[in-house]
Amino acid sequence: MSRIGILGTGLIGASIGLHAKENRRVLGADANASNAEQALRRGAIDEVVAREELYERCDIVVIATPPNATIEELRRLAGAAPRCELIIDVASVKVPIIEAGHGLKNFVATHPLAGNEGSGPGAASGDLFEGRRWAYVPSGDAQLDTRACTFIASLGAEPLSTDAEHHDRMIAATSHVPQVVAWALAERMRDAGGDYEAFCGPAGREFLRLARSRPELWGEILALNARQVAPEVRALADVLNASITVAADRDR
């Protein structure tokens, strides 16, 4: 039986573990010991080990830590030669990840287009990736990329090839800016008072769901992708301002 190593046993890492454990042994490591123990109790991993053991004992290692910690880990590995056959990350920004992982043996940068507003192993789900796209940046090694795609597909996801710049530009518009908008809308509702939430349909509830996402994690993501997020926010502001002008003209 092949062994999967997961560094970071939060929402994404534990969700990978829950699915992978159906036919593989899963080892987990986490700087947050309580997360690792909870993932073990939930059945997302079979064993808690030290970080270094993952790269020696496992065939595949998933780095599922927040983006800044992922960058630090990739830099730490830069001078090493891990035994594992495949290393992937799951960060939602790819340009700085590619830079940090440059030259690392058997590394493929990836990003599952799936998640929820929860955090930690308690929010994990074994079917989180079912039918979802999972982006990856080709490494230039066809055999390694096939290995990554096979693993992605084994989790129920659809591999999506992209380059890092294009990924970060697209994800800024489809994920990062919507998160900013969700916070702004939720803050507006709080400041205005009243029973806005009671009148929310599916769209309003989705924005409020997003607004409950971890601000510390999103702070890292938005800072790392600021070059792509900033122009998207400005463009959206222009659209909103134009809408205000149109509404004001019709109200005369």
pTM over 0.85: yes
Residues 128 and 35 in one domain: yes
pLDDT (0 to 100) of residue 79: 76
pLDDT 10s digits, 106-128: 999 999 999 877 788 888 999 99
State mean pLDDT over 207-222. 91
Nearest C-alpha neighbor of 25 from the set 54, 55, 45, 53: 45
pLDDT (0 to 100) of residue 146: 97
- Asked if pLDDT for residue 1 goes beyond 60, the answer is no
**CA 164 to each of CA 96, 108, 115, 144: distance values in angstroms, whole numbers, following the listed order:** 9, 11, 20, 17
Residues 91 and 112 in one domain: yes
Residues 24 and 146 in one domain: yes
- Asked if pLDDT for residue 191 goes beyond 90, the answer is no
Which secondary-structure segment (H or E) carries 161?
strand 158-161
- Asked if pLDDT for residue 248 goes beyond 90, the answer is no
**Which of 118, 135, 162 is the last residue in one of the domains?**
162
State mean pLDDT over 41-53. 94
- What does the angle CA 203 – CA 205 – CA 179 come to, to the nearest 5 degrees? 80
Q: How far apart are CA 58 and CA 5, in angstroms?
A: 6
Residues 233 and 173: beta-carbon distance below 8 Å:
no
Average pLDDT, the chain: 92
State mean pLDDT over 135-163. 97
Give me the CATH number covering residue 218: 1.10.3660.10
Residues 173 and 158 in one domain: no
Q: DSSP per residue over 99-140, as a string?
A: HHTTT-TTEEEEEES---S--SGGG--TTTTTT-EEEEE--S
- Asked if pLDDT for residue 198 goes beyond 60, the answer is yes
Residues 71 and 175 in one domain: no
**Which of 130, 162, 194 is the last residue in one of the domains?**
162
**Which of 133, 162, 191 is the last residue in one of the domains?**
162
pLDDT (0 to 100) of residue 16: 96
Per the structure, the complete domain to which residue 176 belongs is given by 166-250
DSSP lists the bridge partners of residue 89 as: 63
Question: Which residues, including other chains, have CB under 8 Å from residue 135's CB and lie 6 or more apart?
Answer: 94, 110, 111, 112, 113, 160, 161, 162, 167
Residues 134 and 80 in one domain: yes
pLDDT (0 to 100) of residue 104: 94
Residues 133 and 10 in one domain: yes
Phi, psi of 234 (to 5 degrees): -60, -45
**Total domain count, the chain:** 2
Residues 137 and 196 in one domain: no
